[in-house]
Structure 1
């Protein structure tokens, strides 16, 4: 009996809460032109003396929730070029309220002709007034509804909706808390990203459009970036409304073009219809990108002009060589209402960096959206999409590509479906835990090497590795294995310890640009040999420490290896030539025991051939001595730095960038031959980022060395400036680069080295400069490199700088 009584009490409380929260009057209807009967899309409907309101949809339909506490309420229906109409709604008023608005009779004001277009004068005053009232606006919160629609060329393919609470702080920016969401059956709830906090407010000084920092039309310096031209006048509430054409005045900056409607006397934006200019484009595979932004503003009879909606329409075309995707048409509509201005915001909102969060107590159900009659009504096509789209109507099917490579995508998808449904297919290692991958290479010492690598994680934080393979050239097995343990993951530091053993072919010098795998094809085509090789066998123990975020780290380790020279074993290449390879030189043989220490910033940032800019600093020390049981006594020091700076046109998604790189090393003691440092050059015509582009063949070697390179990526800016549209349309840009390097020593090399072998140093200072055409076929760059100290011109091919 007590449990039943408790249940009755709880149910009664819930009923009371529900009644108090959702007691409301809902009106619906259609707005039309009183003379023509045409519907009025995106009309402004508001409750007088409040910050509440909504807009009509593209068919003129609207739905408005009026809390009982506001009844009777005066509803104002406004549309530029029409007479505002007010109606009174009481508790007994009909739910259906179809409204017809009368067009305004506009009396054109006389325009005084001066040297300056009246549009410039009007917008100057808009900017001045905005700066006044914006200074008094510190915070606001509001209720938002957002709907995103995707379509292909034939029909709608998905709809996502959200109801949320949005917050704005003058210093901290936007935050949004998702309250409820709904989506068509073919979209997972986790893939519903509908929201309003990341949408632009076109009244802002600076407007983020798809990553471009666009100068707003009310920016304090807007008159330096735009020409404003008064093209027409209309009216609303017997007040003049100026129609002003927005014209970009700078062709290389991301700006808007379109129309702004300004209310006379108030000198405030009522509505804008803007598009980004031609500068707002994206690199391949995006072939075309077009958007338009419409937004209305209302001061609700108060001091501040706030956005009440955002309507975005656009399309995106993606095309690759062999793949052509259908055009993606997108539409977004957001409505913002029930503002609370200059109110205190929850401190917890800004204790995290994420602008978007979820109210887990309410978002589990779409009932909030279902109850929210003030959400903007669905169009007929959207209602049909909700009724017909099921879980099988995936986006992959809706945007299925065509082209000669499309069949391979289809084959992969069919194979995955077959494997997941039947579990069949040839997978010889499917019952072995972990992953097994093949390993192979070809060079003048190993000849052909074939092997396998194995990795498994039997326990959380424990990783085991193993490898093995055989070299047909000097007829020995390579093998090894090891483990690593993440033993500290909490507190100010994260730490990993590990141990590994290996017997393998090692390269005599270490390149941070090329791996031995990169040289397989050049070796098969008869390249004389970029790397030299020796045999090493031994173990390494290490401990790595990282600060949270893994930006700052240091690693200490101990190596114990036996080093042995290896002979040249083959001169075969696919072109059938003999004797094309260099001799593989001898090394200083013996046991090398060494401590090594590495520290720096972004140590784990992988080399990417210059596809994107990099930022890292690395400093390494290696020490070997008799006290460690080593046959060698030396200390070796090396530092590397790469950094990318934005330079010009920073408002673009991809601004101009300056990339610099430094590599330097020195030593003390008696440095063995296999520990010389190198400066990389091109392997044949292949010239990735970070090398000396006017050096080809073997790398420069030395006991001491220093290299500097820099390149400035102007992107398409120079070709835009001189009007070379065919290059701009193909996203082909210009890069200028320069480099310098110098090596010192050693004076002698091991006596066992073959006769006629000579160390390859710079013999002075290597100077170079050149230019690149970047973005050929969207994937490559062509470098024209001139050596200055010894007149030489080389043409190399590399991977395009994409970002």
Structure 2
């Protein structure tokens, strides 16, 4: 697990670059009576969209363009009397501001059935709609600081200065102008940018993958309770303090307070945190965030963000691994707005929100340029002085626990699982399985990417049951066109035991444990020796592929060689069925979307489509004459609570096939069922044993993942906190075996069919111990009930 990418996803900010000679003033802002510093004080240059804020110590730095001198500086803080001071060219660079607490005259509140806070926020939403219509674009300067810390100290600091752009129709863009970071962070890993941060005046606020209804959304009154709790003042005007709480407990929403300026009915400040719905599954143990933001209209018509301040803590923990608390802090200050200005078309030619101005960016350039930043605190200054390249984030967030010894990957070897092979090029991995035909098979797989365009693979092993060696290998040539279309062709040879039942879900290795435990045998097997020539074309961006191949294989039946299982039972396995032996020569064509998706037992959603045609005939020198058509489809659709990071989803899996000609036994289609009381998504869960087979077949599996929502609605917080969810599922299938084919009559083989249309339904408890699900399935077309264990649905 790498901490840098993880932290980068959480920390995003940016701001500011001077365009001419400037006069810089700095100092502190304090309470005139107590001397207490006032953090995040709003400091403005009167008559402009320019300004800054104080840091956590009440310290500020403000650069004033010479063209604006003399300039009037306004210092504002809610609950205090604003103050003004004129700055001239000859004025001292150190300027201290003392603010007096404001004496608030409470407005009369008319008591009605509706809380005054609701009335006030209704007016805020109305006024926002009016002025937002007139706001088409803006350009501004931004400064950002991100800080990571663990339980004991600051771990890293990154800063950036940027230009930000916003278009009502096209959205945000940002150009990085300057940056610096502590010495343990590479310049290329400094991704601070304010475009990623929320504007709490927006209708919808995106927080860590959740789309949350904003407090000024047109329908905010349907989602939030607003309660007037206090009044204060700003510039002699009343400011209403309104408490915000979610009205809907299953939606991701905010809670906290907002401050509304009377007369204008505008937000001047928000202090909000996401509710408990904004959470993440293991290994994230806890995820706490708080947001603060100020707004100003600079004496004009539009209320624009002055800053964004974010604080948070993340705790990551799992069995055997416990990471230190990850603390993060983000500060962004935005200034020098240009409103309803023309933005360069080039900004929106690419989809990237973030770009870099290579003519201005340089390492530590913030140090060498007089940019309008927010001063560092004493603790942050010390971090810059002491953190060097040896203070890595990996070391700062080094986990504890019995699995922590495996987190150090510096000892890795190019030989994969067989590290004792040292510096041997390529990757070697073991290959093993156990079944009633091979008995124990043990071997090795080898893969070598010799060049960018040449791949080589080989494998080999021995079966103790049938006393046969399996071996094979192949070459693949790859190239990439100017249009990013990748193509490949190659060939391979094999001599090995092959599954007669084609399954996308169960591998031979997966079936080994049930075989050792006395399962009667899920798969049947045969021996195949021959070669394949293939070619493929892929459009990477669209994940569309077309593959074609020619196959020539000699196929023979294999006998059952063992009845051993570790439970001590004998003669427990069923006989391995013979096949229709002969020379199989065929051509095939496969097309689809996301064909490279590897099945993950339903742990995450997978969107893919596959269509395949295989044709074999005597004209190709084959002993078989048939054409086989097959399709597979898997798709996930978000359903309810789509504003969540992980909404409820409906997953659909379709598997179907048909044929023409005389289909051999080894080419029958299969519908997977539960294997030894394990039931990944895509199989029929209310029956087990061996798969349903047929010349023609169709199956549909669906499941709806309600996640933790039902338990949240019932108030069962312990289940929610352990990420225990509910899944409902169903399935329907039918196969059409031809019981009277000559092959079947000679072999005496009877494929297992559905015997009509098969129906099932059930429910799952998901997320047990974070990795399991328990399925309760019943068959609807005849009495049957089965309880299975599967891999937990994570995403």
Deviation at 1:778, TM superposition (A): 1.0
Q: Aligned match of 1:767 in 759, 771, 779?
A: 759
Cα distance in 2 between the residues matched to 1:431 and 1:96: 63
CA contact (8 A) 1:586 1:750 kept: no
Q: Does residue 1:155 correspond to 2:147, yes or no?
A: no
Q: Which residue of 1 aligns with 2:52?
A: 54
CA distance in 1, matches of 2:260, 2:739: 79
Structure-2 residue corresponding to 1:778: 770
Structure 2 counterpart of 1:11: none
Q: Give runs of aligned pairs for residues 3-402 of structure 1, distance below 5 A.
A: 21-368=19-366, 370-402=368-400
Offset of 1:361 from its aligned partner? 2.2
Show CA shifts across 1:681-739 (max 9, x none).
Answer: 11111111111011211111111111111111111111111111111111101000000
Name the structure 1 match of 2:627.
Answer: 635
Name the residue aligned to 2:7. none
Q: TM-score scaled to structure 1, two decimals? A: 0.94
Contact 1:312 1:332 in 2 (8 A): yes
Asked whether the 8 Å contact 2:578–2:747 carries over to 1, the reply is no
Q: Distance in 2 between matches of 1:499 and 1:49?
A: 74
Instruction: Give 1:749 deviation, angstroms.
Output: 6.5
**How big is each residue's C-alpha offset from its partner over 1:502-559, in whole Å with a ceiling of 9 and x where there is no partner?**
1111111210111111112111222111111111111111111122414222111111
- 1:743 maps to 2:741: no
- Deviation at residue 748 of structure 1 after TM alignment: 3.9
From the superposition, tell whether residues 59 and 723 of structure 1 become closer, same or farther in structure 2 (CA, over 3 Å): same
In 2, the alpha carbon distance for the partners of 1:455 and 1:714 equals 41
For 1:696 and 1:212, how far apart are their aligned partners in 2? 40
Contact 2:448-2:456 at 8 Å conserved across structures = yes
Q: Partners of 1:131 and 1:609 in 2: how far apart?
A: 48
Tell me which moved more, 362-371 or 172-181: 362-371
1:362 deviates by 2.1
Is 1:495–2:487 an aligned residue pair? yes
Q: How far apart are the structure 2 equivalents of 1:426 and 1:456? A: 14
Distance 1:559 1:362 in 2: 59
In the alignment, the residues of structure 2 paired with residue 717 and residue 776 of structure 1 have an alpha-carbon distance, to the nearest angstrom, of: 16
Tell me how far apart the structure 1 counterparts of residues 367 and 72 of structure 2 sit (CA, whole Å): 25
Whether the 8 Å contact between 1:660 and 1:708 is mirrored in structure 2 is yes
Pick closer, same or farther for the CA change 1:481–1:205 going to 2, 3 Å: same
Secondary structure class of the residue paired with 1:517: coil
Given candidates 445, 453, 465, the residue that maps to 1:453 is: 445
2:11 maps to none
* Partner Cα distance (1:759, 1:555) in 2: 30
SS state at 1:197 partner: helix
Counterpart in the other structure of 1:9: none
Q: Which residue of 1 aligns with 2:672?
A: 680
Aligned counterpart, 2:506: 514
* Structure 2 segments unaligned to the other structure (5+ residues): 1-16
Distance, in Å, in 2 between the alignment partners of 1:166 and 1:491 is 32
Deviations 1:645-674, CA, capped at 9 Å, x for gaps: 111111111111001111111111100000
Q: Aligned partners of 1:755 and 1:794: how far apart in 2? A: 32
- How many residue pairs get aligned? The number is 778
In 2, Cα distance between the equivalents of 1:315 and 1:680? Answer: 45
Residue 588 of structure 2: which of 566, 572, 596 is its match? 596
Q: Aligned residue for 2:689? A: 697
CA distance in structure 1 between the aligned counterparts of 2:714 and 2:570, rounded to whole angstroms? 51
Cα distance, 1:659–1:294 mapped onto 2, change above 3 Å:
same
Change (3 A) 1:295 1:496: same
CA distance in 2, matches of 1:649, 1:426: 46
**Whole-angstrom CA distance in 2 between matches of 1:227 and 1:277:** 13
The secondary structure found in structure 1 opposite 2:194 is coil
Question: What is the TM-score normalised by the length of structure 2?
Answer: 0.95
Are residues 388 and 376 of structure 1, via their aligned partners in 2, closer, same or farther at CA, if it must alter by over 3 Å?
same
Q: Distance in 1 between matches of 2:233 and 2:18?
A: 41
- SS of equivalent residue, structure 2 residue 389: coil
Which residue of 429, 441, 448 corresponds with 2:433? 441
Structure 1 position 757, deviation (Å): 5.3
8 Å contact from structure 1 (residues 702, 743) kept in 2: yes
Contact 1:586–1:752 (CA<8 Å) still a contact in 2? Answer: no
Q: Report if aligned partners of 1:156, 1:385 keep a CA contact under 8 Å in 2.
A: yes
Alpha-carbon shift at residue 442 of structure 1 (Å): 1.4
The answer (yes or no) to whether the contact 2:180–2:366 under 8 Å persists in 1 is no
Structure-1 residue corresponding to 2:648: 656
Q: Tell me, yes or no, if structure 1 residue 559 matches structure 2 residue 557.
A: no
Q: What does 1:396-415 align with in structure 2 at a 5 Å threshold?
A: 396-409=394-407, 412=408, 415=411
Using a 3 Å threshold, how does the CA distance of structure 1 residues 226 and 428 change in structure 2: closer, same or farther?
closer
Give 2:614's aligned residue: 622
SS at match of 1:284: coil
Runs of 5+ consecutive residues of structure 1 not aligned to the other structure: 1-18
Q: 1:493 to 1:156 in 2, by over 3 A?
A: closer
Change in Cα spacing, 1:164 to 1:271, as seen in structure 2 (3 Å) is: same
Contact 1:586 1:753 in 2 (8 A): no
* Partner SS, residue 516 of structure 1: coil
Tell me how far apart the structure 2 counterparts of residues 44 and 33 of structure 1 sit (CA, whole Å).
14
Task: Tell me by how many angstroms 1:264 deviates.
Answer: 0.7
User: 1 CA distance for matches of 2:314 and 2:498?
Assistant: 49
Report the Cα distance in structure 1 between the residues aligned to 2:276 and 2:743, rounded to whole angstroms.
65
Distance 1:335 1:152 in 2: 25
SS in 2 for 1:148: strand
Counterpart of 1:715? 707
Query: For residues 442 and 320 of structure 2, what CA distance do their matches in structure 1 show?
Result: 33
